[in-house]
Chains A and B, each alone.
Chain A
């Protein structure tokens, strides 16, 4: 048993099995969520709007400073790296479309989603995990409630409304970051940079970016909540749930990004 090969196969087998089980769980949870969402659409009065507003505040307005800061820096960095390369080949004028399109289509939604995963996704998992430990979830069930209606739907709605807004703001400051670098490093006037951005960044790119960010919002909220519900009720359970929420969300965001990039590029070409 202790020889290298069987142990390795065993390990790979166990890991694969665990991964497949996890996929099945995610699928089941998504189904449950979908049922709860349909219920919510049919009876909008039963949605917990007060909680929804609370989470919009928590995931939205509270996250504005850090989001703007990081997106601005990202614009600066991208502008700087782009300026060095573009200048080598005499492509200075194309810096604006490069920075603009990359941020609006890819990096804006992605960075905002990663920040939201760290801030909101982990706190969703911790919150629900703690409620599980203190038997609040049990209490909800024995009161005849469907816990996801109280705990998941408000977070989901809040995230899906708020994340695209954050992304739009992040896009704007990111472009400004690129503009600053272009002006300082390559001496491109602000107006020229602005015009080149308008020329290079199509409205469709915005649509693509915001759609992505809505999808990421769905992933972050559902995985955060799911990991919370799965949390073990011992001392380490809640911490592990939060960590796992972040790791799984970022992984799924990367997968979704690849799929969406593919889908959008084929739509755009046709």
Chain B
């Protein structure tokens, strides 16, 4: 039995009275790349934001490393949040700080290392995402793709064992997005970090994902889950086969 890093149990979520997702159940195992797929507006970001504790679900639970993020508050919740990294759609870098300062911030807050050590670590993280030499740049001085990579570097500052990505390759050109996929795969192979990735980028599914779940807006839930290659041929749901075969075709062209 593989170790479970994150688990969603009977999640029901939405905004106001409007239910977006219900009966969501899945587990993410240690060291895997897990992707959440689905058409636009089906609730992928909603699911992610509930998993990382930014919103409270209507019912159900989210367990991260054995602790419920739903039923914890205050300092305890911050403790859980600190144990994983999140990269946001636009990078979400702090605009008033340089890239190095952005990455140093969590280190300064939580480690108590001396300044030069922290700077070294920040430099190494930037190197890891191919941004060496950009440490003194402000977020406004770099491109969108670079900001995303810097966001990944910051999310990894404290070497979390679990990383969340919201649409890492949305809005990037095909080459940058392929490079990003490579980066994610490399990182997992080097550090063994578990990754949960929300995407509607079809290209990366087969090359990167170990397991996927597909969400659907109509049924407000998961309509397929498993290994991408298996789903492509065996999914009982024609929509899922169609969805995946398009991505498979694209990959082969």
- B86–A139 touching, CB < 8 Å: yes
Taking the closest CB of chain A, its distance from the CB of B75, in whole angstroms, is 9
With A142-B52, A142-B86: A136-B94 Cβ-Cβ less than 8 Å:
yes
Taking the closest CB of chain A, its distance from the CB of B1, in whole angstroms, is 29
Interface residues on B, range: 20 to 34
Q: Chain B residues near A144: list those with CB within 8 A.
A: 78-79, 81-82, 106, 109-110
- B54–A142 touching, CB < 8 Å: yes
Q: How far is the CA of A135 from the CA of B166 in the complex (A)?
A: 11
In the complex, B252 has a CB within 8 A of chain A? no
- A145–B89 touching, CB < 8 Å: no
Q: How far is the CA of A55 from the CA of B94 in the complex (A)?
A: 16
Taking the closest CB of chain B, its distance from the CB of A56, in whole angstroms, is 15
Q: How far is the CA of A116 from the CA of B191 in the complex (A)?
A: 50
In the complex, B206 has a CB within 8 A of chain A? no
Which among B53, B84, B92 is the interface contact of A134 at CB below 8 angstroms? B92
In the complex, A143 has a CB within 8 A of chain B? yes
In the complex, B88 has a CB within 8 A of chain A? yes
- A139–B92 touching, CB < 8 Å: yes
In the complex, A25 has a CB within 8 A of chain B? no
Q: How far is the CA of A18 from the CA of B52 in the complex (A)?
A: 31
Taking the closest CB of chain A, its distance from the CB of B168, in whole angstroms, is 14
Chain B 94-109, CB-CB to A under 8 Å as 1, else 0, gives: 1110000000011001
- B78–A135 touching, CB < 8 Å: no
In the complex, B90 has a CB within 8 A of chain A? yes
Q: Which residue of A lies closest to B80 (CB)?
A: A144
- B106–A135 touching, CB < 8 Å: no
Which among B49, B84, B88 is the interface contact of A139 at CB below 8 angstroms? B88
The DSSP consensus for interface residues of chain A is helix
Q: Which residue of B lies closest to A136 (CB)?
A: B92
- A138–B92 touching, CB < 8 Å: yes
Interface residues on A, range: 10 to 19
Q: How far is the CA of A146 from the CA of B49 in the complex (A)?
A: 17
- A143–B82 touching, CB < 8 Å: yes
Q: Chain A residues near B86: list those with CB within 8 A.
A: 138-139, 142
Q: Which residue of B lies closest to A46 (CB)?
A: B109
Q: Which residue of B lies closest to A138 (CB)?
A: B54
Q: How far is the CA of A201 from the CA of B15 in the complex (A)?
A: 58
- A142–B81 touching, CB < 8 Å: yes
Q: How far is the CA of A136 from the CA of B97 in the complex (A)?
A: 12
In the complex, A141 has a CB within 8 A of chain B? yes
- B90–A134 touching, CB < 8 Å: yes
Most chain A beta-carbon neighbours within 10 Å: one of B49, B109, B110 = B109
Q: How far is the CA of A146 from the CA of B89 in the complex (A)?
A: 21
Q: Chain A residues near B78: list those with CB within 8 A.
A: 144-146
With A134-B92, A135-B90: A141-B82 Cβ-Cβ less than 8 Å:
no
Q: Chain B residues near A136: list those with CB within 8 A.
A: 92-95
Q: How far is the CA of A31 from the CA of B49 in the complex (A)?
A: 26
- A residues near B (Cβ < 8 Å) are 51, 131, 134-136, 138-146
Across the A-B interface, the 9 shortest Cβ-Cβ residue pairs: A144-B82, A144-B78, A139-B92, A135-B92, A135-B88, A142-B86, A144-B81, A142-B81, A136-B92
- B residues near A (Cβ < 8 Å) are 49, 52-54, 78-79, 81-82, 84, 86, 88-90, 92-96, 105-106, 109-110
Please name 29 pairs of A and B residues whose Cβ atoms are closer than 8 Å in the assembled complex, sorted by A: A134-B95, A135-B89, A135-B90, A136-B92, A136-B94, A136-B95, A138-B49, A138-B54, A138-B86, A138-B88, A139-B92, A139-B94, A141-B53, A141-B81, A142-B52, A142-B54, A142-B81, A142-B84, A143-B82, A143-B105, A143-B106, A144-B78, A144-B79, A144-B81, A144-B82, A144-B106, A144-B109, A145-B109, A146-B78
For the complex with contacts A136-B94, A138-B88, A139-B86, 18 further pairs of A-B residues with Cβ separation under 8 Å are A51-B96, A131-B95, A134-B95, A135-B89, A135-B90, A136-B92, A136-B93, A138-B54, A139-B92, A141-B54, A141-B81, A142-B81, A142-B86, A144-B79, A144-B82, A144-B106, A144-B109, A146-B78
